[in-house]
Structure 1
């Protein structure tokens, strides 16, 4: 194996001495790499930062008497880096989570051939802030990929992105040799967007590394200076609009009209997931009432193409970046736990599940059922019905009913709270079942699709409450065997189409060429809070403790 390429890490500092201390401690004492040069490019600090960094051994310092902006500071740091070194651009408010973070970025660059490599960025509050970004052509205000508590989403594979924030980014020396430094006309913000776009024009991809997560105390140097930060942002946006706005709009990729299921009850609907997968391939989607849709999502979540006669619907997919065995979630109990997630619809299936659980387990059985039911499409009456069916925990079993929609970033973690998933619908859910299986849970479900075999789950043979009661008892009776079925379910799910597979098939069958710039759609405006997982877990624990 060849030796790793030499690397220079350029840390930009402007005051915020304590952030710089922690960042450099992480680089000097907690970062492993055989050939690392550490450079601090100071931007006119007046709080003792410059004196501190000059006192450190093994740190190269370049300093400006005034703040010339982020891009100018980066360029000054690159100028003193060894000419053969790749460069990592790093803000001073970063802390590594693992000592091999730098080697991880380098491995990603080597394995993908990318010229620029970003990583997953987590806030100090545990929220996943960034797993890449894209630039909408209408607003020219960047949209971060991510959101929600960091439970391991977007850590399943390296993925091409439109740009990475240069708060923590690896850049190959060949890219710097071809493009030069960053545009110093930007005081702060947008210099990273422009550089990644220019790199793409030169044939260099930008990738988000799935294996590396860093903690970012965002805007650390701007504590107490929010007005100044916003002014810099708007000035940079104006410059970017002048230089790139028209060019980006001229590059708009292929387009499809998409009609979602009008009765979908959840914000993370199949249509949104399909649109995101198409966008990753460079194909934009727009719901349109003015023209017939080219692609339609049916109520059973299959995908129908309008031009086909007779239609041959495609099966729904799932998102492996959000649903996999690596997704982590806190346990709420040591007892065997069933979990069910989905919309209320007509409610009959949910009431049958609650009846079956009541019949299957006595009050002293160590078994829990947690249901996350969306009743927003059914009104207050449905919510009242569910609240009356809660079974407070006394000595053993409990029924916890939470009435709220579950966003995609949270659903995988909520599923992994349980030992076995239940899909109570009479026809099952073509999307929910592989989601649970991919998370390593066996599923109790009506399964006309043939997804759930005896080795991977518990297929229901009829829709009766008695059949469901018997199956619940069977699953809880031998927890070890049930969890073994979950491991087999995860392997089986890998054979199922992902939404990216479905998107490729849609593009092929509609004759739609793939675009060049991957850019997921923005998050829906009505999605619940980013911290939903913590709120929900706290609510479950309170219910189990019989708290109001």
Structure 2
């Protein structure tokens, strides 16, 4: 057996003796074999030189007359080391918390003949992971020390295995002597910063790759020598980046073999982002230059959906690349109904669907140039539709760095066995039925607890579970609502469980199942669709049960697993090892790279027939029309290009979804008649013909731009007063009349525009009667804003179905997650205002509108004569004032 290669451990020190002493004391307690320790005193002016004398029998000291900087100081140590020994560079701000770190680093380097450099995981004393392999993107030349580019909470990620990386931080690095012989010491163009990335890339160019040793974790108190001089550190960092850019950015740009634009979701909706984020990272690592555009309508709250900051350096870079010229190929990931909006010479669809595609989705799938199937179940469904010729496999995967058995998580303080279930509050997962079955089957005294990690999607969970919570005997459970968590935090949820179960009847919701399998948690789940394949392939406990009894069947199988939990854990551990090799996203990325390497042969496409899709939103100001327009935009209706909408954060921080050109045209039309939105009567009859002609010309221009896209929508409250004059120009359309209680509207109008209550209430009546008149002979539905806020999902489903019934083509039903994020709970926190008392006629009108919103065909009651007279008088007074003003001006 060959003896282990000898290593010279070079500790570079410059002042801060307390750090050097701590590093040496912890280092000398480690198992170092016959390796030598060489301390390079880089011209220290404190007590370092004197104090090092205490260690004279255990370390060798190289004293430099002045500070040569990080690179030249280390190079001096390399030159002074034995010519036949490997080199280990160590910062003096390290704490060696692992006695066998050197042996493991050495083993990592020598495990592969072409590995020349090995680094390790670095953490701080606050529980953060600082380093797990470095990367420099050619876009900005900024290096990051973890793949995400941020300081992560250390839960054991990247500790499962050794992995090839672009570079490592040289705070602690093992370099084979053969590498130094081949490329020399650190590049002297650098003082400090970026020299480590430079060295790893030079080694790679010479045939030596770099590895991160997952089995070694050391503590690093970063910037120990420059902690008191942030300005100096910033200058050194700038110089290092500039030098690196000159050396390497052209070569880094050239390492990409092909380009691909992704249209999907990096953050929202979560069910898409969970797959796309790790896939995008793996595709980039495979040498595919990615850019990104969101597939989903950008109308969601910035704090929730597609905020422009994915908390990930690479993913944020892909966003910035979105403005680049589109590459030849585009990958569509997410809702199939949104794929037609993607413009590219060659379109690929990652065909993840929950139920077999309907007629419309089938047409979209047939229009794609290529389809990638994430599971065998999806492949079979696509083959059944005759799509086998353009079908390729791209299996779902896991990020083994974050999902593995060695993750650390807090355990239940009372020693309970924790059973985890991840579910959405919908008809596929039906978590309320699981809770009912759980409280029936188990008792409060059982050492068992259900942790339901729930996506509530806008549901009132407290109300839905109130009766169960009052059961003092039923099995114990906790409900945790799913927040937006970083990858490492998501995996902690699995690591904290003893068993994972799923009672979902879904065919394609496999994310939680794969994470459970990868983290070696015994899994019990209903065997359907793609989930059945994963359960069969990787030793999960598959339950074959009908829809009625699946919850009871899963819990019965759980009892069997708990009866011999050690055996179940052993099976899960074996399955984890197999899955993390067979289903790593890196393997899927290599498959995708092969797919993209083939010549693109676009499918001949027939010219698309124009879809019928015109939707006009009507309603009084402050009635919720902006919220409904946003929903229609989410359903897939085109409202205008980004930047074309009115913006007034003080009035509506979420946006109006109101075109600026349409707003100006409406304002101009009313002004030319001698009034405005608040004075809709008493117009100058002599001005009407010219005003109408200009309004019709403005509308023609706006509609011509809208007709280039279908379906389209417009929303402007003033259309209640003006739409009848352009109705003959529009063609077939559907109207959505949004109604809200008169007192709420009047209070909001008075608060924002300074009107008196009688005028505001009269305007509410006038606008709603005008909108109802427009809806009389056209396909139209009335939407109660209060009902929308209280029951967003049923109301959006009603809106979607009715528009489809009216012949509006090209819409899609958003997910519950999207609906809940847009119709936010805070919108519903309204109180009945005081001091705004509608008349009896206005109350009767409101009740009639509410009944129409419930799909009752009821006539409208008589108008309030007093309110009509008030508006007439206001109009007359306004005309008189304008005439007097003109006379004075004349």
- Which secondary structure does the structure 2 equivalent of 1:363 belong to? coil
Q: Given the superposition, is the C-alpha separation of residues 315 and 356 from structure 1 closer, same or farther in structure 2, using an over 3 Å criterion? A: farther
- Which secondary structure does the structure 1 equivalent of 2:391 belong to? coil
Selected match of 1:366 from 444, 447, 460: 447
- Which secondary structure does the structure 2 equivalent of 1:38 belong to? strand
Contact 1:131 1:144 in 2 (8 A): yes
How much has 1:465 moved relative to structure 2? Answer: 6.2
Q: Given the superposition, is the C-alpha separation of residues 374 and 71 from structure 1 closer, same or farther in structure 2, using an over 3 Å criterion? A: farther
- Aligned partner of 1:336 in structure 2 is 417
Contact 2:527 2:543 in 1 (8 A): yes
- Aligned partner of 1:154 in structure 2 is 158
Count of matched residue pairs: 509
- Which secondary structure does the structure 2 equivalent of 1:437 belong to? helix
1:386-414 Cα offsets, whole Å, 9 max, x none, are 88689599899432222213432233332
Separation in 1 of the partners of 2:512 and 2:79?
A: 52
Q: TM-score, normalised on structure 2?
A: 0.53
Q: Given the superposition, is the C-alpha separation of residues 268 and 12 from structure 1 closer, same or farther in structure 2, using an over 3 Å criterion? A: farther
How much has 1:282 moved relative to structure 2? Answer: 2.6
- Aligned partner of 2:54 in structure 1 is 55
Selected match of 1:355 from 433, 436, 440: 436
How much has 1:512 moved relative to structure 2? Answer: 6.2
Q: Identify which of structures 1 and 2 has the higher relative contact order when contacts are C-alpha pairs closer than 8 Å and 6+ apart.
A: 1
- Aligned partner of 1:498 in structure 2 is 584
Write 1 or 2 for the structure with the bigger share of helix.
Answer: 2
Choose 389-398 or 292-301, whichever is displaced more. Answer: 389-398
Q: Given the superposition, is the C-alpha separation of residues 382 and 308 from structure 1 closer, same or farther in structure 2, using an over 3 Å criterion? A: farther
Q: Given the superposition, is the C-alpha separation of residues 455 and 507 from structure 1 closer, same or farther in structure 2, using an over 3 Å criterion? A: closer
1:328-380 Cα offsets, whole Å, 9 max, x none, are 322124112111235556685233332332332233333211122345xx34x
* 2:140 maps to 1:139: yes
Contact 2:438 2:555 in 1 (8 A): yes
- Aligned partner of 1:417 in structure 2 is 496
How much has 1:106 moved relative to structure 2? Answer: 0.8
- Aligned partner of 2:7 in structure 1 is 7
Separation in 1 of the partners of 2:249 and 2:465?
A: 52
- Aligned partner of 1:405 in structure 2 is 484
Separation in 1 of the partners of 2:243 and 2:426?
A: 49
How much has 1:314 moved relative to structure 2? Answer: 3.5
Separation in 2 of the partners of 1:477 and 1:98?
A: 40
Q: CA RMSD in A?
A: 3.1
How much has 1:82 moved relative to structure 2? Answer: 0.7
Within 5 Å, which residues of 2 pair with 1:506-525?
A: 506-511=592-597
Contact 2:13 2:20 in 1 (8 A): yes
1:187-208 Cα offsets, whole Å, 9 max, x none, are 2201111111111111111111
- Aligned partner of 1:450 in structure 2 is 533
* 2:474 maps to 1:475: no
Separation in 2 of the partners of 1:139 and 1:338?
A: 45
- Aligned partner of 1:536 in structure 2 is none
- Aligned partner of 2:109 in structure 1 is 109
Choose 251-260 or 72-81, whichever is displaced more. Answer: 251-260
Separation in 2 of the partners of 1:187 and 1:328?
A: 38
How much has 1:44 moved relative to structure 2? Answer: 2.6
Q: Given the superposition, is the C-alpha separation of residues 241 and 312 from structure 1 closer, same or farther in structure 2, using an over 3 Å criterion? A: closer
Separation in 1 of the partners of 2:491 and 2:408?
A: 8
How much has 1:88 moved relative to structure 2? Answer: 0.5
Contact 2:502 2:554 in 1 (8 A): no
How much has 1:312 moved relative to structure 2? Answer: 4.6
Q: Given the superposition, is the C-alpha separation of residues 165 and 489 from structure 1 closer, same or farther in structure 2, using an over 3 Å criterion? A: same
Separation in 2 of the partners of 1:47 and 1:392?
A: 68
Choose 268-277 or 301-310, whichever is displaced more. Answer: 301-310
Separation in 2 of the partners of 1:308 and 1:260?
A: 24
Within 5 Å, which residues of 2 pair with 1:454-465?
A: 456-462=539-545, 464=547
Q: TM-score, normalised on structure 1?
A: 0.84
Q: Which runs of 5+ in 1 are unaligned?
A: 514-548
* 2:223 maps to 1:219: yes
How much has 1:459 moved relative to structure 2? Answer: 2.5
Separation in 2 of the partners of 1:266 and 1:471?
A: 24
- Which secondary structure does the structure 2 equivalent of 1:222 belong to? coil
- Larger Rg belongs to: 2
How much has 1:504 moved relative to structure 2? Answer: 2.3
- Aligned partner of 1:80 in structure 2 is 80
Contact 1:446 1:460 in 2 (8 A): yes
Contact 1:160 1:206 in 2 (8 A): yes
Q: Given the superposition, is the C-alpha separation of residues 483 and 394 from structure 1 closer, same or farther in structure 2, using an over 3 Å criterion? A: farther
Contact 1:359 1:469 in 2 (8 A): no
Contact 2:274 2:511 in 1 (8 A): no
Q: Given the superposition, is the C-alpha separation of residues 346 and 473 from structure 1 closer, same or farther in structure 2, using an over 3 Å criterion? A: closer
- Aligned partner of 2:195 in structure 1 is 191
Selected match of 1:323 from 387, 403, 409: 403
Q: Which runs of 5+ in 2 are unaligned?
A: 294-341, 355-372, 600-890
Contact 1:69 1:184 in 2 (8 A): no
1:166-206 Cα offsets, whole Å, 9 max, x none, are 11101111111222221233222011111111111111111
- Which secondary structure does the structure 2 equivalent of 1:241 belong to? helix
Contact 1:347 1:382 in 2 (8 A): no
Separation in 1 of the partners of 2:395 and 2:570?
A: 23
Separation in 2 of the partners of 1:350 and 1:398?
A: 15
- Aligned partner of 1:96 in structure 2 is 96
Separation in 1 of the partners of 2:111 and 2:124?
A: 27
